[in-house]
Amino acid sequence: MVTPTLPHPTHLEQSLLAEALKLAKAVPTEAELAEDPHLSQARQKRLLEIRSQLNRLAHPLQSHLPKMQDIPVGVRLTFAQACILLSHYPHLGAAQWYGTIIPKTLQRFQPEPIPSALTRIDGITELWAWFDLPAETLKAFKQELSELENQFSQHHQVMKRLRQAIQETSVLRFFQAIFGELPIPAECLAWGSTDWQLYFCLSYENSCLCTWNQQGHPNFQAWNQLTPEARTEIQTFLDKLNQFNYEKFDRFPIFGACEGSQVNWAWLQEFAADLALPPSQVVGILTRSVSILPTAKAEAFLIHDIWGHHWQLWLTSFLNDYEFLSDCGAPLWPGETAYTPYGPLACRELFHWHQGQVHLDQERARLFFHGEVQQRLGFLFTHLLGEMLADVAEFKFACHFPNEVDCLQSSSVFANSPTKLDLSLLDIDFLFLRVLQPLLEITISIFQTSLLETELWKEWQQSSSPDQAESINELALKSAIAELYQLFFQEFQAYAPNLHQPTGIFAAMICNLVYLQNVVNSLYLHPIAQSEIPLRDLLLIFIGCYCSQNCYEEFWAIDDVLAAYFLPCCQHLGDWING
């Protein structure tokens, strides 16, 4: 793979990036707009001006065709894999749509045609030879494809049975089997489904259920007929839908509200038995495939989630990072393991005790901190890329129907751009400190013990003789943990979210994001995208595949890789297709 480089923004670029972040966060409230009706327009205008100035942060696209051997083998391998995986992309979206809701945008969205050369039985072998790739990588990739197709079949089986279950009972009874016995009026609930995902659409406004008339105005008649207790129960449920929690990352790629603990156990057992599958496996599919959308805003999610996110579950390794990301809010514990240049290092290995005293190994603690921070930022980078790729996929509708961009209900100022800098900046602002919080938040008290203290104490007692266990000094352990966090705070200076620190990781991260978005925008709108090569869909899958191993390292390299090698690889692909 390509050696990553960290960009260092100039003073002017720092100022522009800092202002862009500030403006992205400063969405005017209704009260502010009432006081100054032009505030929103002024904010949008300035963001567009800044974005235009930031176009200077761009690598030139490689225009000449290098020899195959001059393209790194890792890039060639990823590109060839993306070409073969591309044939699955049209089937992973909304090739079929079922249900009672009829989306305006989704049914007109079309993936790019797949060249027949990529779907031939012997196509994969020929492609591997054309890109001069090692034979052993082909064997391993074919095995991955075989496993993938088995998973497709099982997922289809479950989703087909889900749709049958709705038709056999009612959408309300099915909803209640998954989300609990909520007293929801049937007229406030609709549903829609692809072969892969199922969406319940709830009609509500300001946490009150309603129906919508043809003019788009809410009718609260059904809501007003509910008891106060029923309203409170429903409002609590609706409020929970909008609350952030790390567990939603474990429901990638739909990030839905389906929790295994809520599913009716009797219904689940019967449903799983019909499919001859264990209930745990069915729950796993439900949590990643079933979601709830507000009816009035469904168009804002459907293309983004179905064509933008769903393929990432199957064609990338993002799932692994999202599973780790879902645990990032958990407190530090002895088994927390950082991956350092010298190998894995567990938190328990930072401490050692002797004759009742606890000592901190500061050198190991520094290694642990930097390894753990970079690992957690890698999970954040995966989420950033996943959202960016979904935005780019959604933009295809805007390309084909430029006069109907508003139908997508995007909250971004950059509705006419493949990437959305403002939304990416909001993701960074929201998650950056959150994913690092367990490393930066400490409670040291005589009156309570942290999980780290409790578990270390337990481990040492179990591994010691009774006399040794009694000699462990509780205060010494608290002091050592306090020393650990003091060291963490010192080391955190290199990562602090300060855009005016030009050599800091935070400024480099946002600067690199702009470089990446600029090259993606340029490639997406490149004239070659009008050729027989499905460049736009291939671009998405290539980025997802390239950044599927170690996203912390790959995030810093992907902009350079795209600028230097993506078009040449596409040209080599075109030569093979036409040869």
The neighbouring-strand residues paired with 98 are 193
Helix (H, G, I), strand (E, B) or coil at 455: helix
Residue the block writes with tokens 């983004």: 304
373 membership: H or E segment, kind and range:
helix 362-400
468 pLDDT above the threshold of 60: no
The rounded distance, in Å, linking the Cα atoms of 540 and 520 is 9
pLDDT, position 243: 86
In sequence order, which residues have a C-beta less than 8 Å from that of residue 160 and are 6 or more positions away?
Answer: 195
pLDDT, position 414: 96
Residue 463 tokens, joined: 């591994």
- Share above pLDDT 70 across residues of the chain, in percent, rounded to a whole number: 98
Helix (H, G, I), strand (E, B) or coil at 295: helix
Number of domains in the chain: 3
Residue the block writes with tokens 């990643």: 288
Helix (H, G, I), strand (E, B) or coil at 353: strand
376 membership: H or E segment, kind and range:
helix 362-400
Contact 510, 21 (CB under 8 A): yes
pLDDT, position 394: 97
The rounded distance, in Å, linking the Cα atoms of 313 and 151 is 11
Residue the block writes with tokens 């609930």: 189
* Strand order across the 198-202 sheet: 98-99, 189-193, 198-202, 290-294
For residues 165 and 303, state if they share a domain: yes
For residues 381 and 288, state if they share a domain: no
User: Could you give phi then psi for residue 53, rounded to 5 degrees?
Assistant: -70, -30
For residues 342 and 466, state if they share a domain: yes
Provide the mean pLDDT of the chain: 92
The neighbouring-strand residues paired with 100 are none
Q: Exposed, middle or buried by CB within 10 Å (0-12, 13-18, 19+), for 59?
A: middle
Contact 392, 540 (CB under 8 A): yes
**Among the ranges given (45-54, 61-70, 123-132, 318-327), the one the predictor scored with the smallest mean pLDDT:** 61-70
179 pLDDT above the threshold of 60: yes
Among 264, 288, 315, where does a domain finish?
A: 315
Q: Does some domain include residue 385?
A: yes
Q: Does some domain include residue 382?
A: yes
The rounded distance, in Å, linking the Cα atoms of 414 and 405 is 11
Name the amino acid, one letter, at 65: L
464 pLDDT above the threshold of 80: no
Residue 507 tokens, joined: 């400024």
For residues 293 and 396, state if they share a domain: no
- Share above pLDDT 90 across residues of the chain, in percent, rounded to a whole number: 80
The rounded distance, in Å, linking the Cα atoms of 334 and 72 is 40
For residues 538 and 392, state if they share a domain: no
**Among the ranges given (62-66, 374-378, 514-518), the one the predictor scored with the smallest mean pLDDT:** 62-66
The rounded distance, in Å, linking the Cα atoms of 119 and 216 is 45
Q: Between 472 and 577, whose confidence is greater? A: 577
pLDDT, position 332: 96
Q: Exposed, middle or buried by CB within 10 Å (0-12, 13-18, 19+), for 476?
A: middle
Q: Does some domain include residue 146?
A: no
For residues 93 and 177, state if they share a domain: no
Q: Between 360 and 531, whose confidence is greater? A: 360
Instruction: Please report, for residues 309, 318, 386, 436, the alpha-carbon distance to residue 543 in angstroms, rounded to integers and kept in the order given.
Output: 13, 11, 10, 25
pLDDT, position 443: 85
pLDDT-based confidence at residue 523 (cuts at 50, 70, 90): very high
Q: Does some domain include residue 368?
A: yes
pLDDT-based confidence at residue 470 (cuts at 50, 70, 90): low
- Residues 8-18, mean pLDDT to the nearest whole number: 91
Q: pLDDT digit string (tens) for 129-177?
A: 999 999 999 999 999 999 999 999 999 999 999 999 998 889 999 999 9
pLDDT, position 20: 96
For residues 488 and 504, state if they share a domain: no
Q: pLDDT digit string (tens) for 348-383?
A: 999 998 777 899 999 999 999 999 999 999 999 999
239 Cα distance to chain centroid: 22
pLDDT, position 380: 97
The rounded distance, in Å, linking the Cα atoms of 314 and 302 is 18
For residues 96 and 194, state if they share a domain: no
Residue 92 tokens, joined: 């992973």
Helix (H, G, I), strand (E, B) or coil at 340: strand
Residue the block writes with tokens 């690598």: 59
Instruction: Tell me, letter by letter, the H, E, C secondary structure of 161-212.
Output: HHHHHHHHCCHHHHHHHHHCCCCCCHHHEEEEECCCCEEEEECEECCEECEE
The rounded distance, in Å, linking the Cα atoms of 387 and 381 is 10
pLDDT, position 3: 64
pLDDT-based confidence at residue 579 (cuts at 50, 70, 90): confident
Strand-strand pairing, 351-354 and 357-360? antiparallel
Q: pLDDT digit string (tens) for 270-283?
A: 999 999 999 999 99
pLDDT, position 406: 92
The rounded distance, in Å, linking the Cα atoms of 463 and 469 is 8
**Among the ranges given (201-210, 302-311, 410-419, 460-469), the one the predictor scored with the smallest mean pLDDT:** 460-469
pLDDT-based confidence at residue 33 (cuts at 50, 70, 90): confident
The rounded distance, in Å, linking the Cα atoms of 23 and 422 is 8
Residue 54 tokens, joined: 């930031």
Contact 339, 375 (CB under 8 A): yes
96 pLDDT above the threshold of 70: yes
**Among the ranges given (9-23, 112-126, 194-208, 464-478), the one the predictor scored with the smallest mean pLDDT:** 464-478
The rounded distance, in Å, linking the Cα atoms of 323 and 575 is 40
In sequence order, which residues have a C-beta less than 8 Å from that of residue 344 and are 6 or more positions away?
Answer: 337, 338
For residues 274 and 388, state if they share a domain: no
60 pLDDT above the threshold of 90: yes
Residue 327 tokens, joined: 């645990």
Helix-helix angle 362-400:474-491, to 10 degrees: 50
Q: What is the pTM of this model?
A: 0.94
Instruction: Please report, for residues 72, 86, 255, 281, 506, the alpha-carbon distance to residue 537 in angstroms, rounded to integers and kept in the order given.
Output: 22, 7, 22, 31, 30
Residue 566 tokens, joined: 């993506």
For residues 369 and 339, state if they share a domain: yes
Among 268, 293, 315, where does a domain finish?
A: 315
Q: Does some domain include residue 39?
A: no
Q: Does some domain include residue 51?
A: no
Q: Does some domain include residue 410?
A: yes
The rounded distance, in Å, linking the Cα atoms of 62 and 50 is 26
Among 315, 348, 368, where does a domain finish?
A: 315
The rounded distance, in Å, linking the Cα atoms of 371 and 382 is 17
pLDDT-based confidence at residue 90 (cuts at 50, 70, 90): very high
Helix (H, G, I), strand (E, B) or coil at 344: strand
Instruction: Tell me, letter by letter, the H, E, C secondary structure of 209-223.
Output: ECEECCCCCEECHHH
Q: Does some domain include residue 53?
A: no
For residues 278 and 325, state if they share a domain: no
Q: pLDDT digit string (tens) for 297-346?
A: 999 999 999 999 999 999 999 999 999 999 999 999 999 999 999 999 99
For residues 254 and 174, state if they share a domain: yes
Nearest alpha carbon to residue 171 among 209, 196, 135, 199? 199
Name the amino acid, one letter, at 508: A
- Residues 222-242, mean pLDDT to the nearest whole number: 94
Q: Exposed, middle or buried by CB within 10 Å (0-12, 13-18, 19+), for 227?
A: exposed
Find the domain containing 300 and state its range.
153-315
Contact 389, 424 (CB under 8 A): no
466 pLDDT above the threshold of 70: no
User: Could you give phi then psi for residue 85, rounded to 5 degrees?
Assistant: -65, -25
